[in-house]
Structure 1
């Protein structure tokens, strides 16, 4: 079976696709993975195609705020999105896959599938496309609107209108029935039911598989290994969230962790944290990144932005999350964890202070039993295998 997997975004958008690609390749399928440049994800041994867009570079240049996106829409966002849409169509014409597996940012996926006469599958890393009355679409609001929650999913559906001309160009490229937009044959959500219980009103074509995580632990730098071996530390990292003042943020984070009586392991990522020299000390270690699967199980708590990748990594490790959301789906996950009894109430980015963080860290103990129970449930999941079974079922 020939598979084309196409994803767009930062590391958290790429890593699950790489895991699925390895699973499919190991099962004997011919897999091509199309991904952004410089994602930081290990794709050794996989057949890859460049999407021609460097999302990590864009984040470092302009940050992650909505204001920055709006300012650079014509000069940066629109050209990058055109490259994504046209590039994915070209890759599909080159590979002619039996199935197309696409991130929701690949708005051209239905057109490509229609033109080539093949099934396509959405990969909803977070719930933004499949309507439900159970909760609002991630990235919209966090307040439960009951039956009106379904209306919030129209936000994602309306995104295609902004790139109408680019999509028309894709339709001409793929020919055939390229103007048709067939529905997805399936939707895969690499999310654990321990974190997001399946709503009763989702159709059977939606599969909550459990996370797609690499099986092997990452390599831990010696200085990190030495630091955590002494015990009693809190992990803090905000991934690619380069927004606001990273120095001021690190000052508050370190102050809060110290006030809670712990040492601090800070991961600077793409600029979310930067150590102020005057608060450095033997109880603080700063590194660019850490292998979550090796570090989080030993942390007293994890302070992070609430991206689904980090949420699932921390929960699978049995580690309570203190979420400081920045944008998009992050407030959704912070609210979900708190509502489900898996963590303290999230702290808004602009409201992050040492006392607030210390207070949240002081609550961690009461959530630990529930998080460890969720970790036990997640240990029994095999998300990549479940996802591959769905894809193979489409080709029978």
Structure 2
């Protein structure tokens, strides 16, 4: 492995990531692995994640756009591809801020230390609109990576074409439904308020705990089962923890992950948020409490944990790099695109 690392040119790499924490976290793992190969990595994402990125030793650069505003537009429209007419101007403003921040993220010095930076390669997720244009302008290689299937397939519809229909139930009503389902099934529960403000302004019983912004990789291994919206990061954390999983999707790829959980036998069929009731939630919890479901979840966790997804992503990046210049060239560590 060390010989392989020595043969790979050391590059300045810009990771351009647009999205929520669940989108950012996998790229943070990718950044850390790339640094092991001697690359200088800058993770450019929304300012909300500055502390999250810096806390693990990866350089940060702020991108425009507010992931919460964008997500709220998706929730209102119940679609990632088709915003409501009333949100069009707001979404255009968000996209403009993102696009205008991409070139500085690849060319500007570190905003704190002032250390110069010019990307020699770019890795971006698809919502980082404009990354292809930046790569062409800088004449550097670009590798698109995502946590969601993005290439055409006949196996399932494009994940971002589905939506649940008109929801969201107000937070108080949804919280009351959760509490009643837990009581009906005789279970204790942990409620993460999230962006839906669950568990707020409601009387909570002693066997239910409200916990905000808790790392899933710490929390889920201490739970028997999980119920969530079905984002890829949250879904992966539940699977790795060996938790039976119920998905309550409202738009985008959440439906796909819910169907996969059900197909694998580790959870009930997904229940879109408009169809969620005390009865349907109670039945889903009862399903997940079955020993055979827990057993399948543990088997899937063992299989997932044996994989090295980050290593596969790094390997794909290195395999697709263009041929370096000759060793005699003074720019030998640069890559010709």
Q: Under a length normalisation based on structure 2, what TM-score does the superposition of the two structures give?
A: 0.80
Is the 1:52–1:84 Cα contact (8 Å) retained in structure 2?
A: yes
Is the 1:266–1:284 Cα contact (8 Å) retained in structure 2?
A: yes
The answer as to 2:234 corresponding to 1:310 is: yes
1:74 is displaced (CA, Å) by 4.1
After superposition, residues 54-133 of structure 1 pair within 5 angstroms as: 54-56=66-68, 59=71, 64-66=75-77, 69-94=83-108, 95-127=117-149, 129-133=150-154
Note the alpha carbon deviations across 1:252-291, whole angstroms, 9 max, x for none.
111112211111110112225134534x211111121222
| Helix, strand or coil at the partner of 2:239 | helix
1:389 is displaced (CA, Å) by 2.2
1:337 to 242, 245, 261: 261
Is the 1:22–1:46 Cα contact (8 Å) retained in structure 2?
A: yes
**Cα distance in structure 2, aligned partners of 1:22 and 1:310:** 20
**Cα distance in structure 1, aligned partners of 2:238 and 2:197:** 18
1:46 is displaced (CA, Å) by 1.8
2:157 to 136, 145, 151: 136
**CA separation of 1:103 and 1:249: change in aligned 2, threshold 3 A:** same
**CA separation of 1:340 and 1:67: change in aligned 2, threshold 3 A:** closer
1:355 is displaced (CA, Å) by 1.5
Q: Under a length normalisation based on structure 1, what TM-score does the superposition of the two structures give?
A: 0.69
**Cα distance in structure 2, aligned partners of 1:86 and 1:277:** 43
Q: Which moved more, 1:313-322 or 1:293-302?
A: 293-302
Is the 1:37–1:51 Cα contact (8 Å) retained in structure 2?
A: yes
> Which position in structure 1 is the counterpart of 2:62?
50
**CA separation of 1:40 and 1:260: change in aligned 2, threshold 3 A:** farther
> Which position in structure 1 is the counterpart of 2:8?
none
Structure 1: which 5+ residue stretches go unaligned? 143-241
Is the 2:162–2:251 Cα contact (8 Å) retained in structure 1?
A: no
**CA separation of 1:350 and 1:2: change in aligned 2, threshold 3 A:** same
**Cα distance in structure 2, aligned partners of 1:42 and 1:137:** 31
> Which position in structure 2 is the counterpart of 1:266?
191
2:304 to 354, 375, 378: 378
**Cα distance in structure 2, aligned partners of 1:58 and 1:332:** 21
| Helix, strand or coil at the partner of 1:133 | coil
CA-atom RMSD in angstroms: 2.3
**Cα distance in structure 2, aligned partners of 1:360 and 1:40:** 37
**Cα distance in structure 2, aligned partners of 1:249 and 1:137:** 29
Aligned residues between the structures: 294
The answer as to 2:316 corresponding to 1:390 is: yes
1:325 is displaced (CA, Å) by 0.8
1:337 is displaced (CA, Å) by 1.4
Is the 2:126–2:146 Cα contact (8 Å) retained in structure 1?
A: yes
Note the alpha carbon deviations across 1:150-197, whole angstroms, 9 max, x for none.
xxxxxxxxxxxxxxxxxxxxxxxxxxxxxxxxxxxxxxxxxxxxxxxx
| Helix, strand or coil at the partner of 2:180 | helix
Note the alpha carbon deviations across 1:8-40, whole angstroms, 9 max, x for none.
111111111122112212332111111012148
2:283 to 359, 362, 373: 359
**Cα distance in structure 1, aligned partners of 2:88 and 2:276:** 33
2:202 to 274, 277, 280: 277
1:311 is displaced (CA, Å) by 0.9
**Cα distance in structure 1, aligned partners of 2:214 and 2:88:** 36
The answer as to 2:44 corresponding to 1:34 is: yes
Moved over 6 A (4+): none
> Which position in structure 2 is the counterpart of 1:211?
none
**Cα distance in structure 2, aligned partners of 1:84 and 1:98:** 20
Note the alpha carbon deviations across 1:312-345, whole angstroms, 9 max, x for none.
1111111001111122111121122112322101
Is the 2:172–2:202 Cα contact (8 Å) retained in structure 1?
A: no
Note the alpha carbon deviations across 1:362-393, whole angstroms, 9 max, x for none.
11124222211110111112222222222233
Q: Which moved more, 1:242-251 or 1:75-84?
A: 242-251
Structure 2: which 5+ residue stretches go unaligned? 1-10, 109-116, 324-337
